[in-house]
Chain A
């Protein structure tokens, strides 16, 4: 980066620099985004090698495709879209038992919530959403997470979870009915 400290640059500026072939900008972007992307992919794939390879391909795709970013929206969300699809592409090639859902105690975090987004997500405003989600079986929750939170299509979710697309649809339907009942 010339003349600008790494901290001053927005992700959008970095992407513009990467599109011009600035490798230092890619490094800054990597340092900012690799940790959370890796952690998020790890929750969706139990094979650490596959996650590493997906992360590498993601930043390679960013390096080559930064010029294709349309400049609107959040670069982080754009990169997540690339990362999860890289992972799905690899899962398709290498049929693996996927989805290790760690069985941990269902401790709820108590935090000071101030924004609408966070209020909805932790279920202050619309009934107990967290409780309702926790009430879903792990299979149904995985489908809700893949389609709603990760923004995947039915087919992509099916590949990620290693189940047929029809099953994704029926599980989503069941999850919706169950959530509606729990939140009513």
Chain B
């Protein structure tokens, strides 16, 4: 324990920023150790500021603690409001994440049992599409009615939610893909169709009803790869169909680019009535 205490006038000048750096350094090292000098500073502190700050603290203490996902978004640079709204995405709820993980897990398990990656490659593009449809579809988000009445509920917010859905679904799928049997380059062929289907849906929001559109796109993919696999005859898997050949992959890439261009160019997005 120290027996020396800072003179009151020096503490006073320190509190108002009116001491030189060396004195300040010395005082700060001392204050960290000395309760007597700390309380001397407390006696001369601005009570109004202290009360105002305290009110702010109590206010936040009373608030519920933000969810983990919201804290992560805050760390990534989202402001408080956007973080909360984005975290309220149905896709981010544990149930959705668990469902995606379960589907991917079962599909990968089935692939490992049969030694074929067919099921995974057929299902993978559908999962993000379902998530995107859930973001845009009316009636899925319990807060949708309230949300659509707020000025903030523009396309930008929904788009951001869709991004979060895409990121989470793709992360789950990528982890699942690594567990596929006999992994090779053609097994990456689900990525472009998945992105193209999801982004086309996003680009068409407001022009076509979301759920039917997503169903048609997803259904076409499923039927397409099934028929193609069937036509190839026995001995050939889903990854051997032309859907996974370079020209078709390229056209999925072009469709993706077109969809992104449409999303970026659309000027009416803020006016879309998502409740319709």
Chain A interfacial positions (CB closer than 8 Å to B):
11, 23, 26-27, 30-36, 38-40, 42-43, 52, 55-56, 59-60, 63-64, 74, 76-77, 80, 93, 101-102, 104-109, 111-115, 117-118, 121-122, 130, 133-134, 138, 141, 145, 149
Known: A32-B38, A138-B21. A39 touches B15 (CB 8 A): yes
A30 touches B20 (CB 8 A): no
Asked whether, in the complex, the Cβ of A76 is within 8 Å of the Cβ of B38, the reply is yes
**With A27-B54, A74-B33, A117-B29 as given contacts, are A39 and B14 in contact (CB-CB < 8 Å)?**
yes
- Whole-angstrom CA separation of A175 from B30 in the bound complex: 23
Tell me the minimal C-beta distance from B45 to chain A in angstroms. Answer: 4
Q: Which residues of chain A have C-beta atoms less than 8 A from B21's C-beta?
A: 101, 133-134, 138, 141, 145
For A59, the closest partner residue in chain B by CB is B57
- Closest residue on chain A to residue B10 by CB atoms: A109
A35 near B45 (CB under 8 angstroms)? yes
Q: Which residue of A lies closest to B16 (CB)?
A: A39
B50 at the interface (CB under 8 A from A): yes
Please give 5 more A-B residue pairs, beta carbons under 8 A apart, in addition to A31-B50, A141-B21. A39-B17, A55-B53, A76-B31, A102-B17, A108-B22
Shortest distance between the CB of A131 and any CB in chain B (Å): 8
Asked if B2 and A118 make an inter-chain contact with CB atoms under 8 angstroms apart, the answer reads: yes
Closest chain A residue, CB of each to CB of B20: A106
User: Which of chain B's residues have a CB closer than 8 A to the CB of A149?
Assistant: 25, 28-29
User: B31: shortest Cβ distance to chain A, in Å?
Assistant: 5
Q: A40-B28, A56-B57, A60-B57 are in contact. Are A35 and B4 (CB under 8 A)?
A: no
In the complex, residue of chain B having the shortest beta-carbon distance to the beta carbon of A131: B22
Provide the residues of chain A in CB contact with B54, threshold 8 Å.
27, 30, 34
Identify whether the interface residues of A are mostly helix, strand, loop, or mixed. Answer: helix
A23 and B266 CA atoms in complex are apart in Å by: 52
Shortest C-beta distance, A130 to chain B (Å), equals: 5
User: Provided the pairs A36-B41, A134-B20 are in contact, do residues A118 and B4 lie with their beta carbons within 8 angstroms?
Assistant: yes
Nearest chain B CB to A61's CB is how many angstroms away?
10
Checking A74, A101, A111 against B7 with a beta-carbon cut-off of 8 angstroms, the contacting residue is A111
Residue among A77, A102, A113, A114 having the largest count of chain B Cβ atoms under 10 Å: A102
With A43-B17, A52-B53, A106-B20 as given contacts, are A117 and B30 in contact (CB-CB < 8 Å)?
yes
Q: CB distance B29 to A104 under 8 Å?
A: no
B residues within 8 A CB of A11? 35
CB distance from A135 to the nearest CB of B (A): 10
CB atoms of A109 and B23 under 8 A apart:
yes
Given known A34-B50, A39-B14, A59-B57, contact A134–B3 (CB-CB < 8 A) = no
User: Given contacts A35-B42, A109-B7, are A104 and B30 in contact (CB under 8 A)?
Assistant: no
Contacts of A52 in B (CB 8 A): 49, 52-53, 56
Residues of B within 8 A of A55 (CB): 53
